[in-house]
Amino acid sequence: MALLEIRDLKKYFPAPAGLLGRAKEHVKAIDGVSLDVEDGETVGLVGESGCGKTTLGRCIVRLIEPGGGTVTFEGRELSSLPEPAMRDMRRKMQIIFQDPYASLNPRMRVGEIIGEGLRIHGLAKGRDLKARVLELLARVGLRGEYFGKYPHEFSGGQRQRIGIARALAVNARFIVADEAVSALDVSIQAQILNMMLDLQQDLGLTYLFISHDLRVVEHVSDRVAVMYLGKIVEVAPAGKLYSVSQHPYTQALLSAVPVPDPSRKGTRTVLQGDVPSPINPPPGCSFHPRCPFALKLCAEEEPRLEFDGQHGVACHVFGPGGTKYL
């Protein structure tokens, strides 16, 4: 059994009401997502802005209450857990945020920030707590003398290290990294990513790595899931996705990654039109209005995620579920 099993997870937000009364419309931020994360692996989650990546990450750790479906962690279903029981589970699953400037309380010292989880769960007190925080600081490559400093005295990369130390403090097994390096310089990104990989090796962590940056995801992930309009359209082992991706959306996404080679004129698939509104997603395959290969069927029937081994594609035309229509 996987460490984390997501089944048919849904989250609809009420859309802003119109002028007259209540509009009964919803933004379908996540619309039936299923995903497994095995113990010790890193699953990358990519997709463009607004596709529901962040909402999915937050639903998993229940910062946002899911609207439907189940999240099972270590065999326990989370969304039905009452808050006191959930509080215990929160120790095991932590989240690292995108904005290292907003994610640290400006009026708390580093030692208090990192030690807060220990205090909440009664894991350490007084001298033990300080010793543990100093150990965590060392783990994330920060000097112990930073203990009494305030967040504003640090650079973005250092702040992100503090955020990681805070997540590690409660001995989390599973960490949602929500665009954890997107706000950082490229050189700092590499440092933080490598540190996260080292920590994974040392502590046996499991990551759900959310990013819009395909190169970053490729670097860290074992498997990658591609999201489009609240749904997962393709899942594959990282190496395979980058070589033999099947879904037209994934291919368009991959062709947009800049290649550091001026002589290579890439064949860039440029998608036509905008992302449809998640309030009224198109019927059938939500990608069909922009898909260069769309069939009549694509506008009528929603494709399911069909698997060939570890490689899953939700498409009527390509992949394991699509061939029969060609």
Partner 1 sequence: MDNSATLEAEVISERRTARSRRLRRALRPWLTPKVIGGGIIVLLLVIGGLSAPWIAPYDPNAQNLSQALRPPDWLFGANVFGTDALGRDILSRLFYGARISLVIAVMVVIISGVVGIALGAISGYFAGTTDFLIQKLVEVVWAFPPLLLAIAIMAFLGQGLENLILALVSQRWITYCRVSRGQALSLRSREFVDAARSLGARHTRIIVRHIMPNLLPSALVIGTFSMASAIISEAALSFLGLGVPPEIPTWGSMLADGRTYISTSWWLALFPGLCIFFTVLGINLLGDGLRDILDPRLKRSGSGIG
Contact range with partner 1 by CB under 8 A, out of 92-100, 206-214, 279-287, 293-301? 92-100
Angle at 48 between CA 219 and CA 228, to 5 degrees: 105
d(CA 166, CA 95): 9
DSSP structure class, residue 177? E
For residue 248, state whether it binds partner 1 (rule: CB under 8 A): no
Q: Using CB under 8 A as the criterion, what x/- string covers residues 47-66 for binding partner 1?
A: -----------x--x-x---
Looking at the Cβ atoms of 99 and 218, the one nearer to partner 1 is 99
Contact range with partner 1 by CB under 8 A, out of 73-81, 94-102, 130-138, 234-242? 94-102
Instruction: In angstroms, give the least distance from the CB of 312 to partner 1.
Output: 29
For residue 221, state whether it binds partner 1 (rule: CB under 8 A): no
Check: CB of residue 237 under 8 Å from CB of residue 309: no
Hey, what amino acid is at 302? E
For residue 102, state whether it binds partner 1 (rule: CB under 8 A): yes
For residue 170, state whether it binds partner 1 (rule: CB under 8 A): yes
Q: Of residues 199-218, which lie at the interface with partner 1 (CB under 8 A)? A: none
10, 76, 121, 240: which one binds partner 1 (CB under 8 A): 121
Hey, what amino acid is at 159? R
Instruction: In angstroms, give the least distance from the CB of 127 to partner 1.
Output: 21
95, 137, 164, 168: which one binds partner 1 (CB under 8 A): 95
Three-class secondary structure of residue 121 per DSSP: coil
1, 8, 105, 257: which one binds partner 1 (CB under 8 A): 105
Q: Please list the alpha-helical segments (H only) found in the chain.
A: 53-60, 83-90, 110-120, 126-139, 156-169, 186-203, 214-220, 238-244, 248-255
The per-residue DSSP string of 241-287 comes to HHHH--SHHHHHHHHTS--S-TT------PPPSPPPPTTSPPSSSTT
Looking at the Cβ atoms of 51 and 104, the one nearer to partner 1 is 104
Looking at the Cβ atoms of 106 and 262, the one nearer to partner 1 is 106
Total residues binding partner 1 (CB under 8 A): 30
d(CA 93, CA 61): 7
d(CA 24, CA 29): 16
Looking at the Cβ atoms of 1 and 102, the one nearer to partner 1 is 102
Q: Of residues 123-152, which lie at the interface with partner 1 (CB under 8 A)? A: 150, 152
Q: Which residue reads 């035309």 in tokens?
A: 317
For residue 157, state whether it binds partner 1 (rule: CB under 8 A): no
Check: CB of residue 44 under 8 Å from CB of residue 58: no
Binding site residues, partner 1, CB under 8 A = 58, 61, 63, 86-88, 90-91, 93-95, 97-99, 102-108, 116-117, 120-121, 150, 152, 163, 166, 170
